[in-house]
């Protein structure tokens, strides 16, 4: 899951997109939001994903505060989901050394 922030406002005032991609099928679900607080992230997930497909077995994200929040962690635990944050950006190459 990821966010696309700072978009031009829609007629409903939405300026953010919550994007979910199924790793197996590549199916994409997108939900527009006005903000990315923990509450709006959970509500968007519940509306766009949970109601249609049920709880995801695991969610991968990029350590965004909305995904790392206590509220989202509690929701994931309640649903029996695991969270897996991707590795932080590292400028080193694949061998672990900086190129000069």
Reduce the DSSP state of residue 70 to 3 states and report it. helix
**Total number of domains in the chain:** 1
Reduce the DSSP state of residue 44 to 3 states and report it. helix
Look at residue 34 in the predicted model and tell me its pLDDT. 84
- Assess if residue 78 is contained within a domain: yes
CATH classification of the domain holding 63: 3.30.420.10
- Assess if residue 100 is contained within a domain: no
Query: Are the C-beta atoms of 41 and 67 separated by less than 8 Å?
Result: yes
- The DSSP secondary-structure symbol of 83 reads E
- Assess if residue 91 is contained within a domain: no
- The DSSP secondary-structure symbol of 50 reads I
Phi/psi at 68 (nearest 5 deg)? -90, -5
- Assess if residue 19 is contained within a domain: yes
- Assess if residue 59 is contained within a domain: yes
Q: Which residues of the chain have pLDDT under 50?
A: 92-100
- Assess if residue 33 is contained within a domain: yes
Its domain, for residue 14, covers 2-85
- Assess if residue 96 is contained within a domain: no
- Assess if residue 22 is contained within a domain: yes
For the chain, count helices (H), then strands (E).
Answer: 4, 5
């Amino acid at each position: 899951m990821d966010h696309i922030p700072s978009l031009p406002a829609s007629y409903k005032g939405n300026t953010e997109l919550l994007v979910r991609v199924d790793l197996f099928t590549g199916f994409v679900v997108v939900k527009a939001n006005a903000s990315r607080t923990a509450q709006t992230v959970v509500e968007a997930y519940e509306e766009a994903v949970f109601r249609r497909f049920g709880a995801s077995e695991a969610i991968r994200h990029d350590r965004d505060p909305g995904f790392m929040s206590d509220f989202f962690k509690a929701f994931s635990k309640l649903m029996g989901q695991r969270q897996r944050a991707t590795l932080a950006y590292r400028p080193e190459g694949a061998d672990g050394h900086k190129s000069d």
